[in-house]
Amino acid sequence: MAIVVTLNVGSSSVKFAAFDAARDGAALARGEADGFGSHARFTAGVGSSGASEQTPETEIKDHASAVQAAFRWLRKQTSGEEVVGVGHRIVHGGARHSQPVLIEHEVFAELTALNSLAPLHQPHNLAGVQAAKAFFPGTPQVACFDTAFHRAHPYVADVFAIPKSFYEQGVRRYGFHGLSYEYVTMALREIDPERAGGRVVIAHLGNGASMCAVKDGRSVASTMGFSALEGLPMGTRCGELDPGVVLYLMQERKMSAADVATLLYKQSGLLGLSGLSHDMRALEASESADARKAIDYFVYRARRELGAMAAILGGIDVVAFTGGIGENSAAIRERICEGMDWLGLVLDREANRAKRTTVSAQASAVQAYVVATDEERMIARQMRKVLARK
């Protein structure tokens, strides 16, 4: 059997999978490495039985060693199979890339130039490409972009109110989490084909968090913008911030650009507000007043953005929750939806706490769903199309 391998190198984890190269379907094998260093975890499984092995990997100290461990495990599990392509989640594709592409020298150089726009992700994404080339020499490498799903936005959704020349030079809102949004949009067509083509808001809530307004299956607005800092507060990222704060920090507090970047990308969000953790699970379990305030702010911003997406769409037919928090925290879903009956959204608390797919009440005009995202499967789907063209 010919197989394709997917690699999803995030800011704090490495996810990987193998799929049949000939047809769409569930992964033949998949796994994840996270907690790099002293708390490293490596979990992987083969087939659809759900069986998995959890191995403490003392060798996993960083992204690079996690990628190597992933490739070694995949090679062991798929020995005898031909790897015909490796697909990569690339967070930033810039203004040019609206479709997946083969990663050739010119493309790699172009994507490297975008590192500063996604410093927590892009360098790790591209390091994964280099590692895959060394591990699977001569095998086509395909870039699948998180920004591509948003490239059809109207001008008003992407432009900043600064001189237009900056927009023409690429200073614009790009939006992210596109692979997740595209997968959830596809999944909704199976769950609710009648409404999936209407006015949909997808909330990708996790260590990285954003919302996307989808109409007729196409992204029309996103809470994330030029970088992955804008919009909702995240695990360690600030979310929306008055640019005057950055000027103040640099001019009055004499912070360097590097210091500000570290603050906004790595020390803010839930971690900065709580002083405790970037992990929503830890905050929900905590009795700390600051942890509760951090959660309150996260919910407040999510409710505010949900209302904004509704205004852009002219109403909502479907709300879909996905991502680590969106899929697993019934309490956060309930708090976001509480009092949203003015939008036609009424939650079924029992269904929500029971972790059902449909969590809206029977009388709700807006249907609410919990949809497990699968970026790896979307990468494999996109990669097959590129390989077929090749």
* E strand segments, 166-317: 199-204, 210-215, 218-222
Extended beta strands in the chain, E state: 2-9, 13-20, 29-34, 41-46, 53-55, 82-90, 101-102, 141-145, 199-204, 210-215, 218-222, 318-322, 367-370
Asked if 146 is an active-site residue, the reply is: yes
Q: How far apart are the first and last CA of the chain?
A: 19
CA distance 261 to 281: 26
CB distance 142 to 387 below 8 Å: yes
Q: Name the residue among 323, 389, 376 with its Cα closest to residue 144.
A: 376
Question: What tokens appear for 43 in the block?
Answer: 């979990």
Count CB-CB contacts under 10 A for residue 156: 8
Q: Is 79 left (phi over 0), alpha (psi -120 to 50) or beta?
A: beta
Report the alpha-carbon distance of residue 217 to residue 341 in Å, rounded: 25
Residue 263 token pair: 């603050």
Residue (of 335, 377, 376, 326) closest to 355 by Cα position: 326
Return the SS3 of 210: strand
Residue 48, both tokens: 């659809």
Catalytic residue among 20, 24, 62, 146: 146
CB 60, CB 42: distance < 8 Å: yes
DSSP designation for 22? S
Catalytically active residues are 146
